[in-house]
């Protein structure tokens, strides 16, 4: 029994060593491989390509106005969905079973409410 375990452990060790050698061979970089992109400056410490323009500076007031507009629009839409959900709930006559459209509308209301909550937290 011990001999079986020893052979098994020896085979595992050999397989791991072989896989390590194969992995190291894949990771090796050949001297002919370029290390920099063709449009990057090797003297640039960041190594960013030259043709990408820098991002414009962010305007926090404009972002807040845009978020507030989205918040108002989403709140209006939420009100419409909630009214539709109430109408659908009033149409349902059985207390045991909910209609599929009622469940879907409730999911829409929940999703939109979550979006509004996320927008409000952004302030």
Radius of gyration of the chain (CA): 31
Whole-number pLDDT of residue 1: 53
34 pLDDT above the threshold of 60: no
Over residues 52-65, the mean pLDDT reads: 81
Over residues 38-46, the mean pLDDT reads: 56
pLDDT over 90, % of the chain = 19
pTM: 0.49
In whole angstroms, what is the distance from residue 34 CA to residue 101 CA?
A: 59
Rounded to the nearest integer, the mean pLDDT of the chain is 76
List 49's β-bridge partners, or say none. 40
The CA-based dihedral angle spanning residues 53, 58, 59, 62, taken in that order and rounded to the nearest 10 degrees: 90
The predicted-structure confidence for 59-110, as pLDDT tens digits, reads as follows 888 888 888 899 999 999 999 999 999 988 888 777 777 788 888 999 999 9
Phi-psi sector, 47: left (phi>0), alpha (psi -120 to 50), beta: left
Count of positions (residues) in the chain: 123
Residues in CB range of 120: below 8 A, 6 or more apart = 71
Q: What are the C-alpha distances in Å from 31 to residues 20, 21, 58?
A: 22, 19, 43
Whole-number pLDDT of residue 83: 93
In whole angstroms, what is the distance from residue 26 CA to residue 119 CA?
A: 47
In whole angstroms, what is the distance from residue 83 CA to residue 85 CA?
A: 5
Whole-number pLDDT of residue 113: 92
Over residues 13-32, the mean pLDDT reads: 64
């Amino acid at each position: 029994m011990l001999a079986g375990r020893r052979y098994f452990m020896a085979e595992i060790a050999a397989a791991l060593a072989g896989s390590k050698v194969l992995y190291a061979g894949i990771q090796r970089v050949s001297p002919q491989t370029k290390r920099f992109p063709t449009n990057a400056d090797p003297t640039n410490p960041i190594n960013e390509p030259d043709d990408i323009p820098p991002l414009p500076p962010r305007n926090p007031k404009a972002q807040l106005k845009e978020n507030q507009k989205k918040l108002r629009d989403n709140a209006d839409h939420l009100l419409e969905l909630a009214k539709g959900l109430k109408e659908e709930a009033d149409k349902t006559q059985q207390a045991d079973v909910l209609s599929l459209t009622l469940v879907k509308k409730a999911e829409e209301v929940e999703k939109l409410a979550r979006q509004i909550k996320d927008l409000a937290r952004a302030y």
